[in-house]
Structure 1
Amino acid sequence: MTVSTTIATTAASTAPTKGASLTGADAADQFNMFLKLLTTQMQNQDPLDPMDTSQYTQQLAQYSQIEQSIQQTGLLKDVLARMSSADMTDAAGLIGRTVEFDSKVAALSDGSAARWNWMLPQAPGSVTAEIRDSSGKLVATPTISATGTSGAYSWDGKLPDGSRAPAGAYVLKLTAKDNSGNALSPTTHSLGTVQEVVQRDGELWLGLGGAVSLPLSDLSRISATQG
């Protein structure tokens, strides 16, 4: 086997294959090896039978495309990282604010009650309420007096036996009927005071009361006042 054939075979083996995943270091190492092999082959080729450069031109084009792709991917990651940091900095301005979420989950902490706002399409004839913990266990059935289409409810965590529920996430479920006994569909939003901003899997979450975190995407209202 000639030097030219050996180098051509080895060079072909270093060429990137379709669908292959290369890091920047891998691509750089293979590209440098390819250039060394190509230079060596050109130096040792038969002047009466020069090498066919079409294959190497194609390989050079492939390496160039990979290099551009790696550079673009790195640039995109940098841009996303900067955007994420900027978003977190902006969201930090919510710390200490009272916010409302499009969620039935509210935070009960040692220092604050679990709070909700609710809305109905019309004034109800009756409303019953259930409060369940994060495991779905029924912990309280408070009495809610509803005379209009909207209202608010605050639960201090007091249980039927007089003890207090532990800090954590709690869900308020309302069942409403009109004066004819027809079911109404309530809309329930939770409220809380933001204590921290956390990033999880590229998404920002707001920590409430030290007990619950809800995604920023569920935010529906921000109070103009603190607390």
Structure 2
Amino acid sequence: MTSGISSISSSSSTNSTTATGTSQEIAGNFQQFLTLLTTQLKNQNPLDPLDTNQFTQQLVQYAGVEQQLKSNDRLDSILSNSKAASAASATSFVGQTVTADGQVADLKDGSATWTLTPSRAAKQATITISDAKGNVVATQTKALTTGAQSFTWDGRSTSGFTSANGSYKIKVDAIDATGAKVTVDTQVSGKVDGVDLSGSAPVLLIGNSRVPIASVQNIGTGLST
């Protein structure tokens, strides 16, 4: 499992450095404020002492900066705990078969599968498969029934050649019996090989596809073709 999880040490180090730098900057300004305030009190003109209202405002500023420092420390702690919990939850997906929103699926061993969910029955649906460079490699036409259904591409191009393994994108243009356009949602299914934790949110790795964990719809769901 460890091999399927990208290291987050560099990201955590960067975030920690940024947070530390910000904290040190505020702390430095806070210390400078104290020094200026103390110096001001020591060097008051006895004949013209510091105005009481002004002194009160400065003390309020003093308290505000102190609270900001404490708040930043607490927020950093909460953020770290939240990321740790999110990472722990994401790793549980490794080895699981998931279905998630998406158009890109991997062709492997002559098979790439998507889940198609039309808003209503479609009399005719034109399914277009494109490669990673955007080139159309295959086009099929079929009817779609209401509800989620699996569509598997065997990797054969329109010209009859077998396409190389890799990532392919699906596009579905469908119409009903009256000729009105039918919206078709697309999902991808596959076994989670690993988890990338280097970003702000975990990303599941399914072959060469990257699936945000927030887009996962089902776990261990299998639909018949």
Would you say same fold, with TM above 0.5? yes
Distance in 2, matches of 1:156 and 1:181, equals 29
Summarize the alignment of residues 22-171 of structure 1 with structure 2, pairs less than 5 Å apart. 23-47=22-46, 49-108=48-107, 110=108, 113-142=111-140, 144=142, 146=143, 148-150=145-147, 151-159=149-157, 160-168=159-167, 170-171=168-169
Distance in 1, matches of 2:36 and 2:128, equals 75
Higher relative contact order (CA 8 A, sep 6+): 2
Distance in 1, matches of 2:32 and 2:160, equals 77
Q: Is the 8 A contact 1:102 1:189 kept in 2?
A: yes
Offset at 1:65?
Answer: 0.7
Distance in 2, matches of 1:178 and 1:44, equals 86
Cα displacement string for residues 27-56 of structure 1 (whole angstroms, at most 9, x for unaligned residues):
433443444454455445455554434323
In our comparison, the structure showing a higher alpha carbon Rg is 1
**One-letter amino acid of the counterpart of residue 194, structure 1:** V
Query: After alignment, is 91-100 or 173-182 more displaced?
Result: 173-182
Partner of 1:125, secondary structure, is strand
Distance in 2, matches of 1:37 and 1:147, equals 75
- Does residue 222 of the first structure (1) align with residue 210 of the second (2)? no
Partner of 2:162, secondary structure, is coil
**CA root-mean-square deviation:** 3.1
Distance in 1, matches of 2:89 and 2:179, equals 47
Identity of aligned residues (%): 34
Partner of 2:202, secondary structure, is strand
TM-aligned CA distance change 1:55 to 1:152, over 3 Å:
same
TM-aligned CA distance change 1:96 to 1:111, over 3 Å:
farther
TM-aligned CA distance change 1:60 to 1:181, over 3 Å:
closer
Distance in 2, matches of 1:23 and 1:83, equals 20
TM-score normalised to structure 2 length: 0.72
Residue segments in structure 2 that go unaligned for 5+ positions in a row: 1-20
Residue segments in structure 1 that go unaligned for 5+ positions in a row: 1-21
2:184 maps to what in 1?
A: 186
Partner of 1:213, secondary structure, is strand
Partner of 1:202, secondary structure, is coil
TM-aligned CA distance change 1:143 to 1:37, over 3 Å:
closer
1:19 maps to what in 2?
A: none
Partner of 2:190, secondary structure, is strand
